Amino acid sequence: MIPILTAQQIRDADQYTIGHEPITSINLMERASRAFVRKFSTLVPGGSRIMIFCGTGNNGGDGLVIARVLIQQAHDVSIFVVGSMERATEDFKVNFERLSVLTGIHQVANEDQIPNIPGNAVVIDGLFGSGLSRPVSGLFANVIDQINKSGAEVYAIDISSGLYPDQPLSEGAVVEATHTISFQTPKLIFFLPEMRKYVGQWHVVDIGLDEPFIQSCETDAFFTQARDIALPSRSTFDHKGSAGRLLLIAGSKGKMGAATLSARAAMRSGCGLLYIHTPCCGLNILQVNVPEAMVIEDEHTEVITEVMPADNVDVLAMGPGIGTNSLTQKALADLILHTSEPMVLDADALNILALNPELLNALPPESILTPHPGEFARLVGAWRSDFEKLEKLRWLAKTYQLNVVLKGAYSAVCSSRGYLYFNPTGNPGMATAGSGDVLTGIVAALLAQGMAPFDALRAGVYLHGQAGDEAAINVGEISLMASDLIEYLPAAFKKLHF
Ligand SMILES: NC(=O)C1=CN([C@@H]2O[C@H](COP(=O)(O)OP(=O)(O)OC[C@H]3O[C@@H](n4cnc5c(N)ncnc54)[C@H](OP(=O)(O)O)[C@@H]3O)[C@@H](O)[C@H]2O)[C@@H](O)CC1
Ligand SMILES: [K+]
């Protein structure tokens, strides 16, 4: 996993690397900027007119190095330095001298000197990086306004000017980048939907900061990588009873599709034995659609009214398609009170929890919740910013000792200790009916096979997204539907067994 560092930790990593590699700070700037150019060159067609805007801090210093390297590669480059040279950093000054030998540098000291930016130009934004200390206003804001209005493609160096790596949106001007080429580690804001407009598509380039130092930084947020995902192992002497016995409590009249999707996803995820508790109306549907499962009928024809834990199952999962009938509410409450092992709750089970919040206290510790943003809001109330949303996620997980995933782009998986792991897989095509039911089946099956609850959740979210990515390659994001996720689960599992 990749630790997500604060602005201060990034500065510390820079300083540590300078002192211990050792490398001079001017050479580290050179190395970072050359890494930027290597990535930039893969994204921008040759022959583009490139306009580089620099502040006089080290982000601007990077801009000057990038200008020099691009000029040496025969690109058409114009450079604009905004703000006072008196405040320039040492490394900026050295690179200013080096560049001056090769080309003229435009100074922008007032509004009249802001250049016209054609829509077909490529802008490189080096106004501010991680050293931003206040909202951007005045001349800098005017320059940013021109950049945003121009319609040109914008490549931010390290981070869009006006954004803090680890804080909510400031009130000042912010560059709306189409791409951000960031140094060494992704920044927290890259994972937040409200920042998308400013960050654009992000890329991280290795600038050789000290890896042991980065790994030793204390943080509670990470970006999950494939190598972090463990899977249950099968041994020669396994039989269906030892490969995980799951009781899925799902379905109600008109919502048997949710039960079917969950059940099939569980079987595709290695569940050894699957029981499905469902209202009588679901019997035939499930027997036909999931012949691998054993179906237990509720007394009621249309909704679930009573279900208890049984000795012959390892894990309980409840929610897909169950509705929120008062009889089902009571069934869930009774089940929770009689269960001591971690269970998986999704969909209407979460809505029932929101209607009866006292049940949260009774949930077995380490249970797993898989809300989408609507269900999450019902559980914790509305939020004003994505930062507040993450705080609420941590609060829910820590207060009730739960493992919770907040589904969406970069689904945030939170452990009961409040550690956040952003998931790298998945695509917008997965925002489709039944997608969540598939996730429930995958996670419950992994849990039933003996994985620790947090590991099962993180792996399930990763595999679900990977199946979505495999499906999207073949059917496209628009046509993608939840049953495709199940079809492509084998490919997702195979990919992890490299
Ligand atoms: N450290 C390293 O070795 C490496 C660093 N690298 C690069 O350096 C970047 C960080 O550089 P940095 O720390 O110099 O800060 P940067 O963002 O350029 O600007 C600071 C200047 O802006 C000013 N200022 C701030 N806010 C303002 C506002 N709203 N309006 C107006 N002014 C404002 C601020 O003023 P002050 O707050 O001091 O008053 C100060 O003068 C980093 O993102 C990466 O690109 C790489 O080369 C790798 C090696
Ligand atoms: K920048």
Give the pLDDT of residue 235. Answer: 75
- The CATH number corresponding to 227-496 among 3.40.1190.20, 3.10.20.30, 3.40.50.720, 3.20.20.105 equals 3.40.1190.20
Number of H helices, E strands in the chain: 18, 18
- CB 134: neighbour CB atoms within 10 A? 8
Please tell me if the CB atom of residue 29 comes closer than 6 angstroms to any atom of ligand 1. yes
Label residues 202-220 b or e (16+ Cβ within 10 Å = b): bbbbebebbeeebeebebe
- Please tell me whether 104 is known to bind a ligand: no
Query: How far from 370 is each of 25, 247, 404, 443, CA to CA, in Å?
Result: 45, 17, 6, 9
- Angle at the Cα of 217 (from 214 to 222), degrees rounded to 5? 80
**Starting from the edge strand earliest in sequence, which strands make up the sheet with 122-126, in order?**
106-108, 76-82, 49-54, 122-126, 153-157, 179-183, 201-205
Per-residue pLDDT tens listing for the chain (498 residues): 999 999 999 999 999 999 999 999 999 999 999 999 999 999 999 899 999 999 999 999 999 999 999 999 999 999 999 999 999 999 999 999 999 999 999 999 999 999 999 999 999 999 999 999 999 999 999 999 999 999 999 999 999 999 999 999 989 999 999 999 999 999 999 999 999 999 999 999 999 999 999 999 999 999 999 999 999 987 777 777 778 999 999 999 999 999 999 999 999 999 999 999 999 999 999 999 999 999 999 999 999 999 998 999 999 999 999 999 999 999 999 999 999 999 999 999 999 999 999 999 999 999 999 999 999 999 999 999 999 999 999 999 999 999 999 999 999 999 999 999 999 999 999 999 999 999 999 999 999 999 999 999 999 999 999 999 999 999 999 999 999 999 999 999 999 975
The best mutation among 16, 31, 59 to test binding of ligand 1, ranked by most ligand atoms within 8 Å of the C-beta, falls on 59
| Digit-coded pLDDT (tens) for 201-260 | 999 999 999 999 999 999 999 999 999 999 998 777 777 777 899 999 999 999 999 999
Q: The complex's ipTM?
A: 0.98
Instruction: Name residue 61's beta-bridge partners.
Output: none
- Please tell me whether 408 is known to bind a ligand: yes
Second-level CATH architecture of 2-218:
3-Layer(aba) Sandwich (3.40)
| Digit-coded pLDDT (tens) for 116-174 | 999 999 999 999 999 999 999 999 999 999 999 999 999 999 999 999 999 999 899 99
Taking the C-alpha atoms of residue 325 and residue 301, their distance in angstroms, rounded to an integer, is: 13
Please tell me if the CB atom of residue 134 comes closer than 6 angstroms to any atom of ligand 1. yes
Omega into 453 within 30° of 0, i.e. cis? Answer: no
Q: Where are the beta strands (DSSP E) in 399-461?
A: 403-406, 412-414, 420-422
The alpha carbon of residue 233 and the mean position of all alpha carbons in its chain are separated, in whole angstroms, by: 27
Please tell me if the CB atom of residue 140 comes closer than 6 angstroms to any atom of ligand 1. yes
Listed residue (145, 171, 160, 167) closest to 196, CA to CA: 160
> How is the chain split into domains, by residue range?
2-218, 227-496
Taking the C-alpha atoms of residue 259 and residue 38, their distance in angstroms, rounded to an integer, is: 49
Please tell me if the CB atom of residue 89 comes closer than 6 angstroms to any atom of ligand 1. yes
